[in-house]
Structure 1
Amino acid sequence: MASIFDQDLPRNEANYTPLSPLSFLERAADVYPQRTAVVHGGLRRTWAQVYERCRRLASALHQAGLGKGDTVAVMLPNTPPMVEAHFGIPMAGAVLNTLNTRLDPEAIAFMLEHGEARAVIVDPEFAPVMQKAIALRKEGRPLLVIDAEDALFTGEAQRIGSTTYEAFLAGGDPSFAWELPADEWDAIALNYTSGTTGNPKGVVYHHRGAAINAISNILEWDMPKHPVYLWTLPMFHCNGWCFPWTVAARAGVNVCLRKVEAKAMADAIREYGVTHYCGAPIVHGMLVNAPEDLKKGLPRGVKAMVAGAAPPASLIEGMEKLGFDLTHVYGLTEVYGPATACAKHDAWDRLDIGERARLNARQGVRYHLQRSARVLDPQTMKPVPWDGETMGEIMFQGNITMKGYLKNAKATQEAFAGGWYRTGDLAVQYPDGYIKIKDRSKDIIISGGENISSIEVEDVLYRHPDILAAAVVAKPDAKWGETPCAFVELKAGAKLTAEEVVAHCKKHLAGFKVPRAVVFGELPKTSTGKIQKFELRKQAGSAAAIDV
């Protein structure tokens, strides 16, 4: 029986509008038309100008016959066209597919085919790879290729498209009458997972989730109006954790950065008064470990967000010395990037660095607008005890969760089995509700029947002052089945022996958890700074063992 609150109270255009981050751009241009929106070298654009360019892009795509449900791929660094793609492409009703610029032609070809891309915008730096990828496609679908020129690109520009980005925009209508999606469940973006085992999966985002996570970013950081955001995080990674849309919602400044280097970061922070930036631990470590003269004059109070591996005590202490405020977040491509945050408490400031690091290393609690993040028993789907010891799987439920995997019903059903998104990350939940990852299910090392968390061993390795980066994987062992193998990257000028690494670990770990092999060298990393453990697993079989 209908409630009295449902009688003659219909949803209509006056009282309901689909949620979409596109509204954020429109408002920024309406309210703050003359405020700076984009900085790229000597280039400056206002919000009014960015809005006009995005409308031109949407119009030009529409004129080219692209609209609702069509995929437009981009292979771009963090440059102005990448910012505009996050608005102009969905304003045409199309779906934005940001391609990882570090991938090989074969992987790019797969994504172009699987996502059924009808157009692609390419930066000159990646034109050779894209040209090979296009040639590798098996399908004969026409593909509109657009060359995005950049004055800051110093290499030899190679054109592979039928038009340039600026020429394409020039043909668009600056007053194009774009529309919000008819349904906020409509797709806004397609992001491919890393694909370390088999072909990558295409994660589909909807307008509602993109808008909600963009707002949650603001709430997690208490982000004020007009922030100055430095693009150290690739926008191709989970759509820059939804921050292109977040910055528009606050009418902030997008400080573009083609290449992430310590000097470029420090110079930009000083010159433009950067207030916020994001990245993996290695990105923040670039500043912490940079020469002192490079760090001179950095403003205090910069807010930094770190994801990936938990920040070690040395990184937290280093950021504190810089005067930067570090927030630890956790998430996956399937939940739009970060969907939990280690919300800090004032009382933590009075604790010693070791205890602060322990608390801040936790993945934390759900984002404001995510319904739930819990550690559940994957078999019974019941919550594990909040004792900080009982392990389960992190699962999400709510609006900040993908629609599913493109053209992969089986994987989608498996991911959502039981009414939760199953991350595959094993964790515990503490009495205060904070989640702490113990490992990926595939990264647990089972030695002599004992479970060893690779993350626990890595945390200990990061405590050593000479270690810049560390990763631990399973090494086959005839007696124990598996034993921990540590891969270690040292700080510049540091000297450390395998025996010294083992001795350090023995001080903090039970004997069976101590690495039996130590390998020194630069660790393989993704474009977002994450260590590629699948590459290290390949090496672990030949790593020399140490008698412990």
Structure 2
Amino acid sequence: MSIFETGLSKNRANYAALTPSDFLERAGATFPQKTAIIHGALRRSYGDFLNRSRRLADALRKRGIGQGDAVSVLAPNTPAMLESHYGIPMAGAVLNAINTRLDAMTISFILVHAEAKLVLVDKEFAPVMEEALAQIENPPPVIWIDDPLAEGGKPLGEKEYEELLAEGEPAPDWPRPTDEWQSMSLNYTSGTTGNPKGVVYHHRGAYLNAVGNAIAFGLTSSCSYLWTLPMFHCNGWTYTWGVTAVGGTHVCLRKVDPALIFEQIAEHGVSHMCAAPIVLTMLIHAPAEQKKAFSQRVNIATGGAAPPSAVISSMETMGFSVTHLYGLTETYGPSTICAWPPEWDALDLDTKAQRMARQGVWYPTLEDMRVSDPDTGEAVPADGETIGELCLRGNTVMKGYLKNPKATAEALTDGWFRSGDLAVLHPDGYAEVKDRSKDIIISGGENISSLEVEEVLYKHPKIMEAAVVAKPDEKWGETPCAFVTLAPGAGEVGVEEVTEWCREHMAPFKAPRTIVFGDLPKTSTGKIQKFVLRDKAKDL
């Protein structure tokens, strides 16, 4: 045994399991009077934020909810959603933040699959939650959130959120995890299958990715972060914890509206925000009367498709600095960043845009990144030309998919997480994705499974075959494009009929925006040639 191990042991004085809930403990002690949350006319200090989160944790524990129990939350970017990101893990339970754009059937699947012990729902989304619960034989109890800025909706469940908090005490002794590997968050992604897959996060990964965000994006205690990115999306890319880690201010925003965004930036001195590329386009093309002037420089991070040079130029002109990030739900959100070396400042705009298109280098809190040959697993040469699969590994990679060992084993293999994205590695070590997983359509920052859309199309009584691919779209990045072959004797079927069918049987944002009727190209074995359809979709 090494002399450095003899007589030295891990104990409470020199070791504590990492958990992002501790960020709020520190912020509450360090900045008790500082404004932590802004939401309309509401101002909530870090002291209040901490006490309310502790109350939520205690109330859950008194209901018998603890380690291994999922608590589902269907809410937009509100104070209650933020408190859920702390109070639920503080109870030892697992936070399941649900996409507010999902349909009732998908929400029902998630609640059953996660075995949710309690549901918190913003009153605006109570109708869809009510429909989802009606599909469950033994639905979990429900608490409704009465947010003053909600548009419509209704009470649902046994009591209101504030009444739930009143059941708890702000006791400081919440059960911290003894093992950093303990599950703390469950996020569902459509992946490459119709049914969503449950991605499980642990305390260590959430803590480290939040720290990585603070480092990579330059967060400080003076920052003001505007919530344009949904908190349900990879837990807000873990900025729900990252902003609190530095004691910054969370500026909540229920919905993405250019007029509101400019208003919040100007009024609250917003310094940082994250958004899908479509939000950048919305800001650029907002009416002149909505574009309020602001004096500060606003740092905006975007993921998905790289913004074109025209978008970068327009954003810079309006006072924004754009940062390109890359990640997946399986990697807690951002895992690589197009870090900007000083020597790139002198480049012309088009060249800058080309460099910014790269997914870049791995986060300071990720262990490693490489581009590998999909067949051999060996790293491809850094020549900027050889295509391989972008692979990641480290503490900020998911534990795996809930109740899906086969998909977990396929994703986490040979010591790497296989992203499914095809990329090249440039001589300077920067990765650049050249093609996405073939079955996934990323529209407005949301993943849409082509298989899920196809399944709905196949259920139409007049459709014999269907194939869905991504069609490039200037506004949304990509939109679903459906190629369908009608059943013999189907008669006339119009685009509107198929579109309406899809909207009735899935979340409306997943419905195809383009529908083409005709025979589908196939291989000699009868497999539909989607690469041919992708080329056709580009020209539509």
Is the aligned partner of 1:267 residue 2:263?
yes
Distance 2:375 2:515 in 1: 30
> Which contiguous aligned blocks of 4+ residues in structure 1 show a shift greater than 3 angstroms?
484-491, 531-548
Which whole-Å deviations, capped at 9, do the CAs of 1:469-500 have from their partners, x for residues lacking one?
A: xx9x9xxxxxxxx9x98554579xxxxxxxxx
Is the aligned partner of 1:9 residue 2:5?
no
TM-fit CA distance, 1:106? 0.7
Mean Cα displacement is larger for which, 418-427 or 533-542? 533-542
Is the aligned partner of 1:149 residue 2:146?
yes
Is the aligned partner of 1:347 residue 2:347?
no
Q: Which residue of 2 aligns with 1:67?
A: 66
Equivalent pair of 1:58/1:176 in contact (CA under 8 Å): no
TM-fit CA distance, 1:198? 2.0
Which whole-Å deviations, capped at 9, do the CAs of 1:174-211 have from their partners, x for residues lacking one?
A: 22520211111101100000256321110000000000
Which whole-Å deviations, capped at 9, do the CAs of 1:209-256 have from their partners, x for residues lacking one?
A: 000000000110122223100000000000000001011101111111
* SS in structure 2 of the partner of residue 166 of structure 1: helix
Q: Which residue of 1 aligns with 2:104?
A: 105
TM-fit CA distance, 1:293? 3.4
* SS in structure 2 of the partner of residue 159 of structure 1: coil
Equivalent pair of 2:278/2:475 in contact (CA under 8 Å): no
Structure 2 unpaired stretches of 5+: 451-466, 477-498, 500-507, 520-532
Distance 2:331 2:351 in 1: 29
Q: Which residue of 2 aligns with 1:130?
A: 129
| Counterpart pick for 1:435 among 394, 407, 431 | 431
TM-fit CA distance, 1:33? 0.2
Equivalent pair of 1:298/1:322 in contact (CA under 8 Å): no
Structure 2 counterparts to residues 81-230 of structure 1, below 5 A: 81-138=80-137, 140=138, 143-155=140-152, 157-194=153-190, 197-230=193-226
Distance 1:194 1:547 in 2: 27
Is the aligned partner of 1:391 residue 2:387?
yes
TM-fit CA distance, 1:547? 9.7
TM-fit CA distance, 1:135? 1.1
Q: Which residue of 2 aligns with 1:409?
A: 405
Aligned residue identity for 2:222? H
Is the aligned partner of 1:295 residue 2:294?
no
CA distance 1:169–1:352, change in 2 (3 Å): same
Mean Cα displacement is larger for which, 208-217 or 284-293? 284-293
Is the aligned partner of 1:241 residue 2:237?
yes
Equivalent pair of 1:196/1:534 in contact (CA under 8 Å): no
TM-fit CA distance, 1:541? 6.1
Mean Cα displacement is larger for which, 216-225 or 263-272? 216-225
Equivalent pair of 1:269/1:299 in contact (CA under 8 Å): no
Distance 1:111 1:33 in 2: 37
CA distance 1:133–1:546, change in 2 (3 Å): closer
Distance 1:135 1:181 in 2: 35
Distance 2:537 2:145 in 1: 50
CA distance 1:198–1:68, change in 2 (3 Å): same
Distance 1:327 1:533 in 2: 27
TM-fit CA distance, 1:159? 1.5
Distance 1:83 1:131 in 2: 23
Equivalent pair of 2:192/2:439 in contact (CA under 8 Å): no
Aligned residue identity for 1:289? H
Q: Which residue of 2 aligns with 1:21?
A: 20
Q: State the Cα RMSD in Å.
A: 2.8
TM-fit CA distance, 1:298? 2.4
CA distance 1:237–1:486, change in 2 (3 Å): closer
Equivalent pair of 1:20/1:208 in contact (CA under 8 Å): yes
Q: Which residue of 1 aligns with 2:46?
A: 47
Aligned residue identity for 1:32? F
CA distance 1:546–1:347, change in 2 (3 Å): closer
Aligned-residue sequence identity (percent) comes to: 52
CA distance 1:485–1:93, change in 2 (3 Å): closer
Distance 1:181 1:327 in 2: 34
Distance 1:55 1:486 in 2: 47
TM-fit CA distance, 1:296? 3.7
Mean Cα displacement is larger for which, 37-46 or 219-228? 219-228
TM-fit CA distance, 1:410? 0.9
Q: Which residue of 1 aligns with 2:358?
A: 362
Is the aligned partner of 1:326 residue 2:309?
no
Q: Which residue of 2 aligns with 1:516?
A: none
> TM-score scaled by structure 1?
0.82
Which whole-Å deviations, capped at 9, do the CAs of 1:438-458 have from their partners, x for residues lacking one?
A: 1124169xxxxxxxxx99xx9
* SS in structure 2 of the partner of residue 24 of structure 1: helix
Aligned residue identity for 2:240? P
* SS in structure 2 of the partner of residue 83 of structure 1: helix
CA distance 1:4–1:349, change in 2 (3 Å): same
* SS in structure 1 of the partner of residue 413 of structure 2: coil
Equivalent pair of 1:104/1:129 in contact (CA under 8 Å): yes
> TM-score scaled by structure 2?
0.83
Equivalent pair of 1:300/1:322 in contact (CA under 8 Å): no
Aligned residue identity for 1:380? T
TM-fit CA distance, 1:417? 1.4
Distance 1:441 1:67 in 2: 37
Q: Which residue of 1 aligns with 2:79?
A: 80
CA distance 1:178–1:312, change in 2 (3 Å): same
Q: Which residue of 1 aligns with 2:252?
A: 256
Distance 2:516 2:305 in 1: 21
Distance 2:438 2:517 in 1: 15
Distance 1:260 1:97 in 2: 22
TM-fit CA distance, 1:546? 11
Mean Cα displacement is larger for which, 142-151 or 82-91? 142-151
Q: Which residue of 2 aligns with 1:517?
A: none
Mean Cα displacement is larger for which, 183-192 or 538-547? 538-547
CA distance 1:538–1:442, change in 2 (3 Å): farther
Which whole-Å deviations, capped at 9, do the CAs of 1:417-453 have from their partners, x for residues lacking one?
A: 1110001000000000101011124169xxxxxxxxx
CA distance 1:75–1:545, change in 2 (3 Å): closer
Distance 2:390 2:167 in 1: 48
Equivalent pair of 2:31/2:247 in contact (CA under 8 Å): yes
Distance 1:439 1:306 in 2: 18
TM-fit CA distance, 1:6? 1.3
Equivalent pair of 1:56/1:176 in contact (CA under 8 Å): no
Aligned residue identity for 2:376? T
* SS in structure 2 of the partner of residue 442 of structure 1: coil
TM-fit CA distance, 1:144? 1.9
* SS in structure 1 of the partner of residue 143 of structure 2: strand
CA distance 1:125–1:418, change in 2 (3 Å): same
Distance 1:192 1:537 in 2: 26
* SS in structure 2 of the partner of residue 20 of structure 1: coil
Which whole-Å deviations, capped at 9, do the CAs of 1:125-150 have from their partners, x for residues lacking one?
A: 11011011111124x2x512000001
* Corresponding pairs, count: 475
Distance 1:540 1:266 in 2: 43
Q: Which residue of 2 aligns with 1:528?
A: none
Aligned residue identity for 1:83? L
Distance 2:429 2:24 in 1: 36
Q: Which residue of 1 aligns with 2:396?
A: 400
